[in-house]
C-alpha cells in the first residue's frame, strides 16, 4: 500500500529553477535511504542525488553545486532543489525510497528550454 508520488516538474527556461517534492503514503515508516534519479530519452536511468537516514549525501558530478537534496522531518519525504538548469537536465525525475525493498514513484517530467 506504500506509494511514492513526485511533484514539481514542469517547463522552465535555461538558468531557471525548480523544486521537486516526493511524498510517501500508506503506512507509518521511515525510509533508510531516499534518492532522486532521472532518465532522458534513449539513456539509462541515472542517480542524481541521494541521502541516507544518517544524513550522508551524494551528488552526481553533473549537478554538484546546482542541486540540493533534503529530507523532510517526517523522514518519508524528500526534496530536490534545482538551480541553474540547463537543457541537459531535461528528463523524467524519479523518487526512490528503500525500506526492506525499493519503492519507486511514477516520475515527474522536467523540461528545460533554450
Mean pLDDT of the chain: 93
pLDDT at 2 over 90: no
Q: For residue 93, what is its C-alpha cell?
A: 525525475
- Whether 86 contacts 14, CB under 8 Å: yes
Sequence-separated (6 or more) residues with CB below 8 Å from residue 90: 40, 110, 111, 112
| Tens-digit pLDDT profile for residues 43-73 | 999 999 999 988 899 999 999 999 999 998 7
pLDDT of 91 reads: 98
Q: What is the DSSP letter of 31?
A: -
Q: What is the DSSP letter of 95?
A: E
User: Which position has the higher pLDDT, 90 or 25?
Assistant: 90
Say how many residues make up the chain: 114
- Whether 2 contacts 26, CB under 8 Å: yes
pLDDT of 28 reads: 63
Amino acid at each position: 500500500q506504500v506509494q511514492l508520488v513526485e511533484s514539481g516538474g514542469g517547463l522552465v527556461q535555461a538558468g531557471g529553477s525548480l523544486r521537486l517534492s516526493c511524498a510517501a503514503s500508506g503506512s507509518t515508516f521511515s525510509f533508510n535511504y531516499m534518492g532522486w534519479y532521472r532518465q532522458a530519452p534513449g539513456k539509462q536511468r541515472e542517480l542524481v542525488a541521494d541521502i541516507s537516514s544518517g544524513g550522508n549525501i551524494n551528488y552526481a558530478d553533473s549537478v554538484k553545486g546546482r542541486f540540493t537534496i533534503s529530507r523532510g522531518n517526517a523522514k518519508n519525504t524528500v526534496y530536490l532543489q534545482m538551480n541553474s538548469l540547463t537543457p541537459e537536465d531535461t528528463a523524467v525525475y524519479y523518487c526512490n525510497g528503500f525500506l526492506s525493498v525499493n519503492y519507486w514513484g511514477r516520475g515527474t517530467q522536467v523540461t528545460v528550454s533554450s
